[in-house]
Amino acid sequence: MIRPSATRIALIYPELLGTYGDGGNAIVLAQRLRWRGLRAEIVEVPAGEVVPADCDIYLLGGGEDEPQVLAADGMRRNRSLLRAVSGGAAVLAVCAGYQVIGATFPAGNGQIHDGVNLIDVETRRSFEPPDVPPPPRAVGDIVVEPSPQLGLPTLYGYENHGGRTRPLPGFRGIPLGTVRVGVGDGTPARTDGVVDGKVIGTYLHGPVLAQNPALADLLLTWVHGPLAPLDGPREVGILRDARAHALAEG
């Protein structure tokens, strides 16, 4: 299924959801298509503008508590992201983006705020009883063993978040994986992220797709069908060095 038209990669509200260089994920996806002789177009959607419903892949990055409230409100005003996903589009949502596409998350003032409701998860400062102090902010390298059915190698990234995320009753997806180093969702199951249809949520920054090209190719395969392999020994060597550092930290 090679399509003549360019694959449209939407970068949603980069001013609000772009604190951690997650915009790099758009560049990685576009470049991996171009290296294969395929066309790609990055569609930046500035905050305040309507999210187009005709893109193939939607990217949401990390952000601080208040900007992510604005992002959630902006996306809830029109339901184009939900429509695009029901029409077959893929989503990668990182950290604040992951929290925003869930049902609820904590705003900067501690109040619980409504998310976009694309996936059945909720985020809180803590899932402990009120008399137990909330856990410390999760900051540092994170290494995740992906759920086996995804067919992915070990995932590497960086996390920096206060929120903890868990599935709600009715959740239909699977965890992105099990945390080997770091915190991730911060649940007793020690999982990070979710995969629900073609929607991926995760706490891995990095930008995660630069560190994990197989994850980039999984997203591309979802919207494109099978793709030719790409990475040679040089690319594999660079990643191996970066990953050794993450493991040594853990």
Active site amino acids: 95, 205
182 binds ligand GLN, rule: CB under 6 A = no
Tell me the closest approach of the beta carbon of residue 240 to ligand GLN, in angstroms: 26
206 binds ligand GLN, rule: CB under 6 A = no
135 binds ligand GLN, rule: CB under 6 A = no
Residue 137, annotated as binding a ligand: yes
**193 close to 184: Cβ distance less than 8 angstroms:** yes
161 binds ligand GLN, rule: CB under 6 A = yes
64 binds ligand GLN, rule: CB under 6 A = yes
Q: In what order do the strands lie in the sheet with 121-124?
A: 112-114, 104-106, 121-124, 164-167
163 binds ligand GLN, rule: CB under 6 A = yes
**7 close to 41: Cβ distance less than 8 angstroms:** yes
Closest CA to 197 of 117, 100, 94, 85: 85
Q: Beta-carbon neighbour count of residue 134 at 10 Å?
A: 13
62 binds ligand GLN, rule: CB under 6 A = yes
243's enclosing H/E stretch is helix 233-249
Closest CA to 201 of 125, 124, 90: 90
SS3 category, 43: strand
Tell me the closest approach of the beta carbon of residue 245 to ligand GLN, in angstroms: 20
Q: Of the candidates 42, 45, 60, 68, which one interacts with ligand GLN according to CB under 6 A?
A: 68
Tell me the closest approach of the beta carbon of residue 243 to ligand GLN, in angstroms: 21
The residue with its CB nearest to ligand GLN is 62
Binding-site positions: 137
| Binding interface with ligand GLN (CB under 6 A) | 20, 62-65, 68, 95-96, 99, 160-163
